[in-house]
Structure 1
C-alpha cells in the first residue's frame, strides 16, 4: 500500500519544490507575512501604516516587506509627499491581490473553528450588492460541492507514493 508523503520536510528540496503548499508556506508562513497582506488589502501602503496597524517590530517589518516585495506579492513604488524626501509605498501586485481568497478562507475557517465571543471581525461581501459571500468548492457547472465530497488529488508534479488528501 502506498504511503502518504507530504512535501513539508525542509531537508527534501525536491519534495518542497514540487508541493504548492510547501512553497506557499515557505513564503507566507512567517509570522506577520499574511497580516501584512491583510492590511495591504485593507488599504495600508506605507511603512508607518503597517507599523501602526500591526505593532510589528521595525526590523521584522522591514524584513517581511522586503521578502514579500522580492517574491512579487508587493511592489515598492516611490512617491514624494509635498516638501518631503522621497519615500516608498507598497502596493499589492496581481499575485498579492490573489491572496484575498486565501485570507478569506482562513478567516472563514477561523470563524467556524476558532470562534471568539466577540463574533467575526470581517467577512467577504459583494462590492456591488453588499451581500455576504461564502467560500465554497464548485464544479464546472457552478454547482456547490460539499466539503466531504472534495479530495485533493495528485497532479503532474506529484511524486509516486502520494495519496489523495
Structure 2
C-alpha cells in the first residue's frame, strides 16, 4: 500500500499531521514545552532511540517548530520557535483530553501550573456565543478562501442540505 503524502495536501490539518503525526513528534515538543533543550535530555526523558530522536528533531527543525542553536563546544540546544510555541494551546487541549480519557486511576502524571499564580493551566472549553458548550453538531463548516471548487461545492451542498 502506498502511503499518502500529507505534505502535498491542500488541507493545513493534513500538512500539520505530516509533521506532528509522526511517532514521537508531539512528545518531543512536550519535552521542549517542559524546558528540555539538549539532545541527551530529550533522549533520557523520553527513553527514545538516538536515531529516532535525531530524525524527529531534524524534522521539527526543518518544519520550523524548533531551532538548533550552537552552545559551548560541539553541543547544541533545541529551542522552540514562534511556530513551535504556537502549538502550546493545542498541546494543552490534547493533554486535557488525554488526562480525562486516558489517565490511570492515580490521576495524571503531570500537572501544568501557571508560574506567577500557582493556578492549574487547562484548556478553556469551546463556548457558543451564549456561553453554552459548543459541540461539533452546532458548528457550520464553510469553504474558506483557499477552498478548491470541488471542496466549495461539497461544503455548500452540505450547508444547503442542513438548512
Aligning the two structures, in what range does the TM-score lie when normalised by the shorter sequence? 0.7 to 0.9
Whether the aligned pair in 2 keeps the contact of 1:107 and 1:123 (CA below 8 Å) is: no
Matched, 1:147 2:139: no
Pairing partner for 1:130 from 118, 137, 143: 118
Cross-structure match for 2:76: 88
Cross-structure match for 1:76: 68
Whether the aligned pair in 1 keeps the contact of 2:68 and 2:76 (CA below 8 Å) is: yes
Change (3 A) 1:51 1:129: same
Per the normalisation by structure 1, the TM-score is: 0.77
Per the normalisation by structure 2, the TM-score is: 0.78
Whether the aligned pair in 1 keeps the contact of 2:69 and 2:78 (CA below 8 Å) is: yes
Cross-structure match for 1:25: 17
5 Å-filtered alignment, 1:22-61, equals: 22-61=14-53
- 1:120 Cα offset (Å): 1.4
Pairing partner for 2:109 from 110, 121, 129: 121
Distance 2:75 2:58 in 1: 15
Distance 2:105 2:84 in 1: 31
- 1:139 Cα offset (Å): 6.3
Cross-structure match for 1:4: none
Alignment coverage as a number of residue pairs? 148
Distance 1:22 1:111 in 2: 25
Unmatched 5+ stretches in structure 2: none
Pairing partner for 1:108 from 96, 115, 118: 96
More displaced stretch, 105-114 vs 42-51: 105-114
Change (3 A) 1:147 1:30: same
Distance 1:42 1:151 in 2: 34
Q: Which has the higher contact order (CA 8 A, sep 6+)?
A: 1
